[in-house]
């Protein structure tokens, strides 16, 4: 309540959080530790701190989002920052302004942190090179979604007490998923055994080079897993170009009780949301006690608080 | 798959035969004992000695071999029953020595859904006298755009996946289908003919097409699509079968893919092994087929490839078309020729006159398609289904289309003299065809 300055995250000394690639064990661990403390604070009646008091955060979302945007907004507000949500769908970008012009314009308003989601891979990094403030990647195309991976890690660590050595099966549309790419990075760094499960049409190229074991058969892919992490399948991918139908996808790649029974008896079920019930996950599993999908949402706010605190720590203090 | 096995069927022994098993290379005098629908015993010791309490059939020295498996049969069921039904096709098959026919998804509606695979299987079980398996469409409506439910269709019984008479022009679609099919180890069977190059074409491009004033398609249209597919197979690792190739260049492409270790095979229709474009003569529409009949040297190259073992499968490409669709100006007439009933005797021409070894010829119509499709039929071995045929290798006869059993009569071999006659056909140990016919053998149901 009385903290005036943001806490450092040892091992994390970057002004931006753009990718999970290259984050050290120490950096990840300290971010998770910070987030753990934030999670406890979030369960108190008075959730407000003032470590970001006086700071301005801009949520710049080029792709619509409800969860991530509101999660960042809540995280920033709980840390005492002023938050502005830029609804880009109705902004000057629609009038033909380039990404970099938008960046320069926003930079001139002297924000302290910009949280960016963009539909193009690499766009957030490009923007970060043109501004003086901190930039946090809230998802860039099919590339990275670092805070999602960190919140998944935190959820796992809190439930299992560790990450190292756990068998994590990430299932579904891996090819188009930034969540999968970020998770593969941090899980590998933390020495989990990562598997990816998808039909070949939804597999990234050269999966073995990503440090994972690839399975096209889900029954085999989830066998003995500690964590079954489902991904969302976009509707436009279900019409026959990647997957013949939702029915067939559910039959062979949807998480139902039969496939889940191949995993460890205490396996956790995760999903980044929003879910397609009956497409990638059975409704009864989504609501099952082994599902930690609601905890993921809760940890999302805590992890974003930790990340905002850590990057803000790199800003000049006066 | 329909189960024809009849546990109460009496044991039958076929004695005094020239027993040929293309899989093992067996070719010797002997006999085969059939019990409960399967081959219980075979060998030279059964040549003269029939075990007690068995029905004895004396083959009189004729060839006894596995029933043929025809991998490409078009029927009109559902949708065009006036051309052919599963029942009428199966009678033609039985008379021609074909004991397993693989029907194509080009029906109305197209076989692209689980319920339709089920429909074919139930209709075949109730009406057909030979085994029937269906291929399912690999794209919805055979439109070449969106892939079908390959996993669920396979579970329902689809034996392979085909785009019927249509080639998939969109390379991306083909790549996605191959990628996806690989996960299910599903066999992709593709008719390779570039849709743009072959548009409106009614015969092979060349001198004859020029003289006849008909739009032609060059064989390069086949080779382009085939070579594209083979590159995609190399990238995806899928199992691929080129349905009916028609020229030397295609054989070379398939041979090169096989040498690179790809799981690739090819088939050829009996029409392309026997006929060439000159047979079209004065616009004879019964010789209008797909791919078109090629030049004589292409046909010779196919026969040569068959001898060398470069062709895996021979199909009848049985494609019934009614008179209205054939009695048209050549360019407007439908493609297709019937062939189930004449497949074996016409193929035997290659043995009698073309220098093709009998076992090589039979292999392409028995054990090789069986292996490709994962069927237990197509071979003579203890425990194998008793799908057997007895045929007289030398008996000459003249094809009379009015006597053919197919509902449509579009045979390019009408009035031809052919040599070789199927005397008896057994499916799961039961006789479904006899020549000369005896009234009780016509139908089992």
HEC per residue, B127-182: HCCCEEEECEECEHHHCCCCECCHHHHHHHCCCCEECCCCCCCCHHHHHHHHHHHH
Distance from CA of A33 to the nearest CA of B (A): 42
Q: Which residues of B touch A244 (CB under 8 A)?
A: 146-151, 180
- Smallest CA-to-CA distance from B306 within B256, B354, B377, B373 is with B354
Helix B248-259 and helix B220-236, axial crossing angle in degrees, nearest 10: 10
Which chain A residue has the Cα nearest residue B153? A248
Q: Which of residues 209-238 of A touch B (CB under 8 A)?
A: 216-217
**Residues constituting chain A:** 318
Candidate from B146, B173, B183 with C-beta closest to A239: B146
Residue B2's Cβ-count burial label (10 Å; 0-12, 13-18, 19+) is middle
In angstroms, the CA A307 to CA B278 distance is 78
Question: Do B346 and B37 contact (CB within 8 A), yes or no?
Answer: no
Q: Taking CB atoms and an 8 Å cut-off, how many pairs form between chains A and B?
A: 45
Chosen from A196, A201, A237, A246 to mutate, greatest number of chain B CBs within 10 A? A201
Q: Where are the alpha helices (DSSP H) in B184-268?
A: 207-212, 220-236, 248-259
State the residue for tokens 């019937």.
B338
Distance from CA of B332 to the nearest CA of A (A): 33
pLDDT score, position B1: 45
B173 — contact with chain A (CB < 8 Å)?
A: yes
Are A200 and B183 inside 8 Å of each other by CB?
Answer: yes
With residue B301 as reference, give the H or E element that holds it.
helix B296-307
* Token pair for A5: 């300055």
Chosen from A200, A238, A244 to mutate, greatest number of chain B CBs within 10 A? A244
State the residue for tokens 């019409």.
A239
In angstroms, the CA A26 to CA A179 distance is 21
Distance from CA of A252 to the nearest CA of B (A): 8
Candidate from A201, A241, A247 with C-beta closest to B146: A241
Q: Where are the alpha helices (DSSP H) in B27-139?
A: 86-96, 114-127
A204 — contact with chain B (CB < 8 Å)?
A: no
* Token pair for B382: 């203890």
Are B176 and A242 inside 8 Å of each other by CB?
Answer: yes
Candidate from A201, A245, A247 with C-beta closest to B179: A201
Q: Which residues of A touch B145 (CB under 8 A)?
A: 240
Q: Which residues of A touch B173 (CB under 8 A)?
A: 241
B180 — contact with chain A (CB < 8 Å)?
A: yes
Q: Where are the alpha helices (DSSP H) in chain A?
A: 25-42, 67-78, 99-108, 123-128, 146-160, 178-189, 218-221, 246-253, 257-260, 283-286, 293-312
Are A248 and B151 inside 8 Å of each other by CB?
Answer: yes
Q: Along the 445 residues of chain B, how does pLDDT read in single tens digits? A: 445 555 556 799 999 999 999 999 999 999 999 999 999 999 999 999 888 888 999 999 999 999 999 999 999 999 999 999 999 999 999 999 999 999 999 999 999 999 999 999 999 999 999 999 999 999 999 999 999 999 999 999 999 999 999 999 999 999 999 999 999 999 999 999 999 999 999 999 999 999 999 999 999 999 999 999 999 999 999 999 999 999 999 999 999 999 999 999 999 999 999 999 999 999 999 999 999 999 999 999 999 999 999 999 999 999 999 988 999 999 999 999 999 999 999 999 999 998 899 999 999 999 999 999 999 999 999 999 999 999 999 999 999 999 999 999 999 999 999 999 999 999 999 999 999 875 444 443 3
Q: Is B356 left (phi over 0), alpha (psi -120 to 50) or beta?
A: beta
User: Could you tell me what percentage of chain A is helix, strand and coil, using 3-state DSSP and rounding each to the nearest 5?
Assistant: 40, 15, 40
pLDDT score, position B346: 97
B170 — contact with chain A (CB < 8 Å)?
A: no
Strand, coil or helix: B248: helix
Distance from CA of B151 to the nearest CA of A (A): 7
pLDDT score, position A4: 55
Distance from CA of B193 to the nearest CA of A (A): 22
Distance from CA of A243 to the nearest CA of B (A): 7
Distances in whole angstroms, Cα of residue B317 to Cα of each of A51, B190, B262, B285, B290? 78, 13, 25, 16, 9
Are A244 and B145 inside 8 Å of each other by CB?
Answer: no
Which chain A residue has the Cα nearest residue B172? A241
Q: ipTM value, please give it.
A: 0.90
B151 — contact with chain A (CB < 8 Å)?
A: yes
B192 — contact with chain A (CB < 8 Å)?
A: no
Distance from CA of A110 to the nearest CA of B (A): 47
Are B183 and A199 inside 8 Å of each other by CB?
Answer: yes
DSSP state of A318: -
* Token pair for B118: 């089920």
Q: How many CA atoms lie within 13 A of B174 on its CB side?
A: 25
Q: Which of residues 226-245 of B touch A (CB under 8 A)?
A: 236
pLDDT score, position A93: 63
Which chain A residue has the Cα nearest residue B143? A240
Residues B189-246 pLDDT 10s: 999 999 999 999 999 999 999 999 999 999 999 999 999 999 999 999 999 999 999 9
Buried b (16+ CB within 10 A) or exposed e, A22-48: ebeeebbbbbbbbbbebbebbeeeeee
Q: Along the 318 residues of chain A, how does pLDDT read in single tens digits? A: 445 566 788 899 899 999 999 999 999 999 999 999 999 999 999 999 999 999 999 999 998 888 999 999 999 999 999 999 987 765 656 667 788 888 899 999 999 999 999 999 999 999 999 999 999 999 999 999 999 999 999 999 999 999 999 999 999 999 999 999 999 999 999 999 999 999 999 999 999 999 999 999 999 999 999 999 999 998 777 777 899 999 999 999 999 999 999 999 999 999 998 899 999 999 999 998 899 999 999 999 999 999 999 999 999 886
């Amino acid at each position: 309540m009385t903290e005036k300055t943001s806490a450092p995250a040892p091992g994390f000394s970057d002004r931006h959080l753009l990718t999970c690639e290259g984050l050290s064990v120490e950096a990840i661990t300290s971010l998770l530790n910070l987030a753990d403390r934030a999670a406890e604070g979030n369960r108190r009646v008075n959730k407000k701190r003032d470590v970001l008091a006086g700071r301005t955060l801009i949520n710049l979302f080029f792709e619509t989002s409800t969860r991530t945007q509101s999660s960042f907004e809540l995280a920033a507000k709980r840390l005492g920052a002023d938050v502005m949500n830029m609804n880009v769908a109705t902004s000057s970008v629609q009038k033909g302004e380039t990404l970099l012009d938008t960046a320069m314009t926003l930079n001139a308003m002297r924000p302290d942190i910009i949280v960016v989601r963009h539909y193009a891979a690499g766009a957030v990094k490009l923007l970060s090179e043109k501004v003086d403030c901190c930039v946090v990647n809230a998802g860039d195309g099919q590339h990275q979604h670092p805070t999602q991976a960190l919140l998944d890690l935190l959820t796992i660590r809190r439930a299992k007490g560790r990450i190292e050595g756990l068998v994590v099966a990430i299932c579904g549309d891996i090819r188009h998923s930034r969540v999968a790419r970020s998770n593969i990075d941090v899980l590998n760094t933390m020495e989990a055994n990562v598997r990816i499960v998808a039909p070949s049409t939804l597999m990234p190229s050269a999966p073995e080079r990503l440090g994972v074991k690839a399975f096209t058969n889900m029954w085999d892919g989830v066998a003995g897993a500690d964590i079954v992490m489902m991904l969302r399948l976009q509707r436009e991918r279900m019409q026959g170009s990647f997957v013949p139908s939702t029915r067939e996808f559910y039959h062979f790649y949807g998480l139902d009780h039969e496939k889940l029974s191949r995993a460890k008896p205490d396996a956790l079920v995760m999903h980044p949301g929003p879910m397609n019930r009956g497409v990638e996950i059975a409704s009864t599993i989504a609501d099952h006690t082994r599902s930690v999908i609601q905890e993921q949402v809760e940890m999302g706010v805590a992890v974003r608080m930790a990340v905002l605190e850590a990057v803000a720590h790199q800003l000049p203090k006066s | 798959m329909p189960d024809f096995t009849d546990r109460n069927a009496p044991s039958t022994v076929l004695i005094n035969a020239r027993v040929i098993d293309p899989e093992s290379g067996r070719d010797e005098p002997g006999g085969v004992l059939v019990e409960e629908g399967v081959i219980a015993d075979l060998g030279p010791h059964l040549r003269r000695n029939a075990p007690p309490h068995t029905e004895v059939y004396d083959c009189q020295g004729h060839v006894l071999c596995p029933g043929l498996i025809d991998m490409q049969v078009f029927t009109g069921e559902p949708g065009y029953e006036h051309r052919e039904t599963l029942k009428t096709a199966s009678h033609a098959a039985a008379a021609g020595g074909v004991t397993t026919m693989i029907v194509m998804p080009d029906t109305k509606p197209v076989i692209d859904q689980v319920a339709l695979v089920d429909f074919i299987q139930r209709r075949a079980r109730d009406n057909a006298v030979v085994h029937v398996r269906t291929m399912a469409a690999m794209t919805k409506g055979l439109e070449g755009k969106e892939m079908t439910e390959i996993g669920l269709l396979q579970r329902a019984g689809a034996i392979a996946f085909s785009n019927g008479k249509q080639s998939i022009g969109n390379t991306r679609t083909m790549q996605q289908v191959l990628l996806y099919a690989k996960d299910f180890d599903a066999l992709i069977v593709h008719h390779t003919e570039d849709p743009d190059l072959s548009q409106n074409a009614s015969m092979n491009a060349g001198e004859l097409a020029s003289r006849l004033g008909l739009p032609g398609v060059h064989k390069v249209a086949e080779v382009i699509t085939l070579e594209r597919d083979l590159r995609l197979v190399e990238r995806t690792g899928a199992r691929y079968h080129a349905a009916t190739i028609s020229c030397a260049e295609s054989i070379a492409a398939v041979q090169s893919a096989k040498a690179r270790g790809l799981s690739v095979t090819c088939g050829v229709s009996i029409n392309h092994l026997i006929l060439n474009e000159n047979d079209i003569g004065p616009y004879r529409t019964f010789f209008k087929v797909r791919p078109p009949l090629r030049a004589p040297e292409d046909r010779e190259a196919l026969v040569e490839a068959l001898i060398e073992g470069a062709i895996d499968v021979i199909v009848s490409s049985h494609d019934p078309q009614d008179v209205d669709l054939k009695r048209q100006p050549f360019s407007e007439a439908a493609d297709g020729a019937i062939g189930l009933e004449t497949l074996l005797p016409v193929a035997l021409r290659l043995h009698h006159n073309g220098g093709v070894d009998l076992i090589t010829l039979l292999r392409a119509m028995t054990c090789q398609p069986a292996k490709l499709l994962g069927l237990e039929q197509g071979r003579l071995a203890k425990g194998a289904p008793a799908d057997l045929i007895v045929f007289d290798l030398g008996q000459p006869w003249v094809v009379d289309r009015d006597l053919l059993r197919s509902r449509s009569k579009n045979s390019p071999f009408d009035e031809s003299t052919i040599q070789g006659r199927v005397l008896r056909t057994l499916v799961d140990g039961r006789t479904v065809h006899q020549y000369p016919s005896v009234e009780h053998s016509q139908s089992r149901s």
